[in-house]
Structure 1
């Protein structure tokens, strides 16, 4: 006889425990990649301690040049990503409103042109126009990374269930209220995926800033290549890869934390 059959008539069943949602961030997610990167960087440091560097390699790495280039690379990535966000997300919202929807294909085509253009060619044109310096490099990186955030913002807002939006309007929400409390939260996963893609793109594209005088880890890579100094080339490459993986890891954590809980599938 089951527990329901043994329960007297009229007695309410005991309350069920609420389904537990899976934890968003596990300790494996938090620790695995940083641990791997720490091991790689420690091995790289140990290798440099054993390597015999000639005067050209020592000059390329002396006077805190490595930390300077790493800081410049992080600055280029952070500043360009900030401007990508404040350009692409509001523009994506506008292109899903009213009459501006007709301009969405043209805006997407323009963004596609920006990313389809070879990055080094785009940077060369900007240097001719703006001159050598960080400004040209930043504009080039921004133009190259706008597409994934813009396209994901538009796609996320268009994918919302119309019945939910009608229900929100039916209970008296203003257009801004519907956007802020219904549309954007539902579109957050796609928008964050676009931001994550843009971040990794920016880290990679920032290595080309060296050709426009923007600095960054690309300086170490080009110095190692032009002077045929493998230690300098390897250091610049390893630091760039490690930074890209670290940025992608941080973005994946932010994607998990910022994802609305209502969109998670219970196990």
Structure 2
């Protein structure tokens, strides 16, 4: 092959590995969320709030609830990853493979149990506070990450793994350089699902004294104040959509280049 032919062929070879994020993906959803927040702000600026609603929304309580909600989501997701991914790896090793049905059954119990009932049991056991809320959120979100990790690792082509061992790679090297990179798309899909679940489940943390945007929602319901309820609900939906959008970008950008072709 001549140098000219090689130069002409190289863009074609490089094209599958290029990281492309469309402008629509980067702009449409953020623009919609900004428009929703702006419309909500304009509505509240013109709304005639009664003293109960003003008291529920004043003094930085909205920003405090939003901060608590983000903290609950981030902390719970961190521990879900810390538990589910290493456990999924261990359950795909030959020595512990027989324990997979038991682990999956336990993870299913966490998600099959109604979230509010699980939180009530944890409050009885751990007491009122953020700890009970976090344990409940984590138990509820472990299943998708654990299931996708196991599925992704088990779906790897055995001939590729055998070839990696054949060139002298250690079991740890095969795991780190072959198995996990090939399983990344499925693992990231599970993480994305867990993130959205955590945002939604964190609204129930208020029933265990964990704070979050659920405080605004329950205040609006119990006091029959629609503006407070609407604000808490809109912020929760916007946060869930924002988290899902960020996770979709991470899913695209962290996908191994070799799988993009």
The TM-score bracket by the shorter chain reads: over 0.9
Equivalent position of 1:90 in the other structure: 86
Match of 2:258 among 254, 259, 262: 262
Deviation at 1:24, TM superposition (A): 2.7
Equivalent position of 1:49 in the other structure: 45
Counterpart-to-counterpart distance in 1, 2:205 and 2:180: 34
3-state DSSP class of the match of 1:99?
coil
Q: Structure 2: where are the runs of 5+ without partners?
A: none
Structure of greater Rg: 1
Aligned length: 256
Match of 1:245 among 235, 241, 247: 241
Counterpart-to-counterpart distance in 1, 2:123 and 2:107: 20
Question: What TM-score comes out, normalization by structure 1 length?
Answer: 0.94
Counterpart-to-counterpart distance in 2, 1:203 and 1:17: 47
Match of 2:194 among 194, 198, 207: 198
Question: What TM-score comes out, normalization by structure 2 length?
Answer: 0.96
Over 3 Å counting, the alpha-carbon distance change for 1:17 and 1:113 in structure 2 is same
Deviation string, structure 1 residues 30-82 (Cα, Å, up to 9, x no partner) = 11111110000000000000110000000000100000000000000000000
Match of 2:207 among 194, 208, 211: 211
Counterpart-to-counterpart distance in 2, 1:12 and 1:111: 57
Deviation string, structure 1 residues 97-118 (Cα, Å, up to 9, x no partner) = 1220000011001100110000
Match of 1:14 among 5, 24, 47: 5
Question: Superposition pairs for residues 6-155 of structure 1, below 5 Å?
Answer: 14-15=5-6, 16-18=8-10, 19=12, 20-21=15-16, 23-155=19-151
Counterpart-to-counterpart distance in 1, 2:86 and 2:46: 51
Counterpart-to-counterpart distance in 1, 2:96 and 2:3: 56
Counterpart-to-counterpart distance in 2, 1:121 and 1:42: 36
3-state DSSP class of the match of 2:224?
coil
Q: Structure 1: where are the runs of 5+ without partners?
A: 1-9
Post-superposition, which runs of at least 4 consecutive aligned residues in structure 1 deviate over 3 A? 10-13
Tell me if structure 1 keeps the 8 A contact 2:19–2:253: no
